[in-house]
Amino acid sequence: MSRGPVRVLRLGLRPYAEALRVQERCVGAARAARAGPGPGPGPGPGPGPGESVVLSEPAEPVYAWGLRGAPEAEAAARLRARGAGLAAARRGGRITFHGPGQLLAFPVLDLRRRRLPLRGYVAALEALVLRLCRRLGLAAARALPPPFTGVWMGDSKLCAIGVHCGNHITSHGLALNCCTDLTWFDHIIPCGLEGKGVTSLSRELGRHVTVDHVLQPFLDSFQEVFDCTLVFSEDPGD
């Protein structure tokens, strides 16, 4: 039995900071939905229980880090000099890169309602990406045992995962390299992992794979893993 609708917000090519702002509005809607309907018939958080997934492709290069791993001032200046933005995010994980050619997916789900522990949620995100990879013909992709997260091809990370969970409502999520310019990763230690590399769907499949190419198989996999129906919305404010 489906666990109900999840609203899909497809932002397209947008600045990273804008995707974060849309995500925060969705978190507020999920909290409001849990609290119950308001006293009047006015606009609510959207269909269903208030769960959402925000999909975007970063419009400009940006280095982002989680609750730890902020770059020192000199390193930050070097990254800015290369034309990248810098952003701190309320998620787990160290510094990584976001930019064009990368799918960002920020699921906003109620883990208490789903009776899903946080580690189980991270495993579900990994399972989602593995299903997507199989749909695209990349059967060798795999998840590694804890403490590693994400989806890997050998020793190279294909998809990074970094999540936040406040009062059982999730935010942030995953970054899947589709046709990302991987040279941006050369200037950092991605996710703080020494001796590990990064890769992309385009590199592994030997053909150009854009974010648009993977959106539908991603959503098909999301629907299967999280046992939900999808309600589409192009307006992040509705």
- Give the span between the Cα atoms of 66 and 21, in whole angstroms: 16
Task: Decide the pairing of beta strands 156-166 and 197-198.
Answer: parallel
Active site residue 179: no
- Give the span between the Cα atoms of 88 and 163, in whole angstroms: 13
Q: Which of 165, 178, 191, 228 is catalytic?
A: 191
Nearest to 138, CA basis, from 199, 97, 181, 216 = 199
Between CA 139 and CA 216, with CA 176 as vertex, the angle to 5 degrees is 75
**Residue 219 in contact with residue 8, Cβ under 8 Å?**
yes
User: Hey, which residues are catalytic here?
Assistant: 191
